Amino acid sequence: MEAITRVSADRFDPLKLWSRLGLLLVNVGFWVLFAALADGFLSDFNLFTLLRLTSIQIVIGLAQMVVLAIGDMNLAVGAIGGVVAMFTGAMLQLVGLPLELALPLGLAFGVLAGVANGVLIVLTRINSFIITLATAGIFTGLMLILTKANSYSALPFSLVSFSGRQVFGLAMISPYVPIMLAVALALFFLYRSTRLGREMLAVGANRRAAAMSGVRVSRIVIVAHGLSGGLAAVAGLMTVGLLGTAAPVIGNDWLLTSFVAPVVGGTLLSGGIVSVWGTVLGGILVGTITNGLFLLGVSSFWLNTFFGLVLLAAVWLDRLGRVAAGTETS
């Protein structure tokens, strides 16, 4: 079980602690900057919108993070989110199921799609990049064929109004924030305190060593992809609530952004090292910068450039930090 102890030791690495605090400090720095410079940044309305949207982005990032943990990728996060959104919309509008039934069904559908990815990866032993690239096309294609790209807008009011409520008596906190935090907390305990979580990290760190230590790698791969599908489904349902309609475009633009929050937060593409709170902070940083630049009047057309530069700076600094700490070769 050497791989497992090594991986869990990584999580208490002082450098990682520092890099996490570093990200927190960068976040605080930008908040102070925008609070001082951008009119209306701290207004209840702006914070409410910012945190609501960011919560969804973070859940999308977490859906990617759980497969990065085992050294895989899921290029179908957006496809699953979109399929689940449309499936749930159809269940609500066409079948007339109540919310209490339709939402869990939607989640189960997402998990199932993820499990299908995992099973295909395990059975064919083909790279997850290719499998999920293919299934992304298959999922989205099937969904568009079946729905003919129509939206479902006749959704229960309680779902549509949910994201606009305020919780904890605070005008800037949407119910999406506690949902996101609950998901993050659950994942944090998964990786920190459960055997399953540590086995996932072991598989990511060194698949062969994990297999030889008695970890059932195939099962772990399937579970991780199922979890990713479930989280993509949560993000899909949150988006339906936000838009007030189940639209076939949901998930279209998740693919590339899903990598940003986890990678900025210090999750490695090679697997074995994840940072749940890093992903949360990474998501908040990206959301904050996007929102702040918009308020400062930077043309929204330039946002992608800043987005890319921030991503580049974050991953590069992260790597320099690791090299300095000797956990990675130069």
Partner 1 sequence: MIGRIVRSLSVAAVGLLAVDVLGILVLVSTTPSFASTFNLFVLLRDIAVTLLIALAQMVVLAIGQMNLSVGAIGGLVTVIMGWLMAQGGVPVAPAIVLALLLGAATGAVNGSLVLWTKLNSFILTLATGFVFLGMNQGLTKGIPFYRLPEGFAHFGQARAGLFPYLAIVTLVLTVALAVFFRWLVPGRQMLAVGGNRRAAELSGLPVGRVVMGAHVLSGLLAGTAAILLTAQLGEAEPTVGQTWLLPSFAGPIIGGAALTGGTAPIFGTFLGVVLISLIDDGLILRDANPFWIQFLVGALILGAVIVGRVQLRGLRAGEALRRLRSGTSPTVGEAGAPR
Query: Does the protein bind partner 1 through residue 2 (CB under 8 A)?
Result: no
Nearer Cβ to partner 1, position 44 or 253? 253
With CB under 8 A as the contact rule, the residue among 29, 40, 141, 156 that binds partner 1 is: 141
CA 89/CA 102 separation, integer angstroms = 8
Query: Does the protein bind partner 1 through residue 133 (CB under 8 A)?
Result: yes
User: What is the amino acid identity at position 17?
Assistant: L
Query: Does the protein bind partner 1 through residue 93 (CB under 8 A)?
Result: no
User: What is the amino acid identity at position 88?
Assistant: T
Residue 206 tokens, joined: 């060194």
CB of 157 to partner 1, least distance (A): 31
Query: Does the protein bind partner 1 through residue 21 (CB under 8 A)?
Result: no
Q: Quick count: other Cβ atoms within 10 Å of Cβ 164?
A: 14
CB of 168 to partner 1, least distance (A): 34
Helices 254-264 and 276-295: angle between axes, nearest 10 degrees:
110
CB of 46 to partner 1, least distance (A): 23
DSSP string, 283-310: HHHHHHHHHHHHHTT--GGGHHHHHHHH
Q: Which residue has the tokens 């993050």?
A: 184
HSE-CB of 195 using CA atoms within 13 angstroms: 4
Nearer Cβ to partner 1, position 154 or 312? 312
With CB under 8 A as the contact rule, the residue among 1, 25, 142, 154 that binds partner 1 is: 142
Nearer Cβ to partner 1, position 28 or 142? 142
Applying CB under 8 A, the site for partner 1 has a residue count of 50
**Of residues 199-238, those binding partner 1 (CB under 8 A):** 206-208
Residue span binding partner 1 (CB under 8 A) among the ranges 4-12, 16-24, 97-105, 310-318: 310-318
Binding site for partner 1 (CB under 8 A): 71, 120, 124-131, 133-142, 144-145, 148-149, 206-208, 255-256, 259-260, 263, 269-270, 299, 301-309, 311-312, 315-316, 319, 330
